[in-house]
């Protein structure tokens, strides 16, 4: 939805630009949609919190009984801070990774979190740390599809998970270490088409059903996330009821194969939050280059947001809808390249996955105009950085009744310097 220019200008005056604006009702609508397809017996939804780990959002998930998939020790601690319980009865927080980094192993042990391991050597790490108990295995089933090629989560080129043909040796290593395989997990991605997701999930269910009889301690199967969001057409209809039917049937198929009731899990991330957040930025200048033998000229709208805020377009050419705030839809448009302030040629929001400029048809902005970059809730603030010593932008929470809450402030230089030391070793 479009926000009123008055609201955005008021916020820009209050907190400065750029800033992030979250719509509580959109997040709750997406949570309710996932609840509707996981309401059956033995079905459980998680939130892949890496997509947007703000405490306020984690609290919304806790209130809705959406469990958590964490991928670092600090994500576990952030989930605990937001009210999600520790332990494995039930395993509300699951830790998924291919490497125990920093405090991850210690936090898993201290909080009794179910480790979902994606690399065989993690069994050695758990055993050496004295862990005895339940584990989950993340399997690379040999197929899958990310929303872009560089994000493939299954197949020979994917770093994620234990290659499916290595499962027998991993089972033996787990048994020797006193570890019980309580869950199987795979994340195969959504691919460009919803029907591809359905086909891949059915294929995955069949493969897990074939494995289930050989896993006497199996309690659950996770089909991962991958529910897509259409960035180019955010209002596009998504037939979630087909997923609901698939999950119910899959849970029964897997339970029959294991000869006992199993829990079926899913763990969307992007779907819950992508459409719920807008990055608001201000135009500083509009300038042009001219066509020469090297290539065509372009009109650049220079804004104060950059890939320190929203890195997805620079990282893999992702598309985000852009609007010039307060301009009438019927206004004439022209090709505009939207670029940021960073000392980096790739600091451009309008580019394709081949790193080529892809101007957007927009009304010609004027210095001082606000621009909005839409559908920025997933991997927006979560992937922001301090490149060029720039502080992360503030996050604002908007309730349906118009109540506004600042849920994080703009970072200062003091925040950036806080971790620097002059400590002899």
Which residue numbers are catalytic? 343
Q: How far apart are alpha carbons 320 and 377 in whole angstroms?
A: 11
Distance of CA 255 to the CA centre of its chain: 29
- What contacts 165, CB < 8 A, 6 or more positions away? none
* CA triple 30-31-34, angle to 5 deg: 90
3-state DSSP assignment of residue 131: coil
Angstrom distance (rounded) from CA 389 to CA 418: 12
Half-sphere exposure of 54 (CA within 13 A, CB side): 29
Which residue's structure tokens are 């299954």? Answer: 154
Map tokens 């960035």 to a residue: 231
Q: How many CA atoms lie within 13 A of 388 on its CB side?
A: 15
Short-list 311, 314, 303, CA closest to 341? 303
């Amino acid at each position: 939805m479009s926000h009123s220019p008055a609201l955005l200008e008021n916020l820009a005056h209050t907190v400065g630009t750029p800033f992030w604006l979250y719509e509580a009702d959109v997040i709750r609508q997406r949570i309710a949609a996932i609840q509707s397809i996981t309401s059956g017996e033995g079905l459980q939804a998680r939130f892949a919190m890496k997509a947007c780990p703000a405490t306020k959002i984690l609290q919304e998930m806790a209130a809705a009984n959406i469990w958590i998939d964490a991928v670092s020790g600090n994500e576990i601690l952030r989930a605990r801070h937001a009210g999600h319980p520790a332990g494995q009865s039930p395993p509300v927080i699951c830790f998924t990774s291919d490497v125990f980094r920093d405090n991850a192993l210690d936090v898993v042990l201290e909080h009794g979190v179910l480790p979902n391991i994606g690399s065989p050597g993690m069994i050695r790490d758990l055993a050496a740390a004295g862990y005895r108990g339940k584990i989950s295995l993340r399997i690379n089933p040999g197929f899958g599809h990310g929303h872009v090629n560089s994000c493939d989560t299954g197949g020979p080129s994917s770093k994620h998970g234990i290659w499916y043909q290595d499962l027998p040796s991993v089972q033996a290593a787990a048994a020797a270490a006193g570890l019980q395989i309580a869950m199987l997990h795979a994340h195969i991605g959504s691919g460009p088409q919803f029907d591809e997701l359905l086909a891949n999930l059915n294929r995955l269910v069949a493969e897990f059903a074939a494995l289930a009889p050989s896993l006497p301690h199996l309690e659950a199967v996770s089909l991962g996330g991958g529910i897509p969001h259409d960035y180019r057409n955010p209002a596009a209809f998504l037939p979630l009821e087909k997923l609901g039917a698939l999950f119910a049937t899959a849970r029964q198929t897997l339970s029959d194969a294991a000869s006992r009731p199993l829990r079926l899990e899913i763990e969307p991330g992007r779907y819950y939050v992508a459409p719920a957040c807008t990055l608001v930025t201000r135009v500083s200048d509009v300038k042009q280059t001219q066509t020469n033998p090297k290539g065509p000229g372009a009109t650049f709208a220079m804004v104060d947001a950059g890939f320190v805020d929203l890195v997805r377009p620079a990282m893999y050419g992702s598309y985000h809808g852009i609007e010039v705030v307060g301009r009438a839809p019927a206004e004439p448009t022209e090709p505009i390249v939207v670029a940021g302030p960073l000392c980096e040629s790739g600091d451009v929001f309008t580019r394709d996955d081949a790193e080529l400029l892809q101007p957007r048809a927009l009304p010609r902005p004027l210095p001082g105009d606000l621009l909005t970059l839409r559908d920025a809730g997933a991997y927006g603030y979560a992937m922001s950085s301090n490149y060029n010593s720039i502080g992360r932008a503030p996050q604002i929470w908007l309730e349906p009744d118009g109540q506004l809450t600042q849920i994080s402030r703009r970072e200062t230089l003091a925040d950036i310097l806080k971790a620097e030391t002059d400590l002899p070793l």
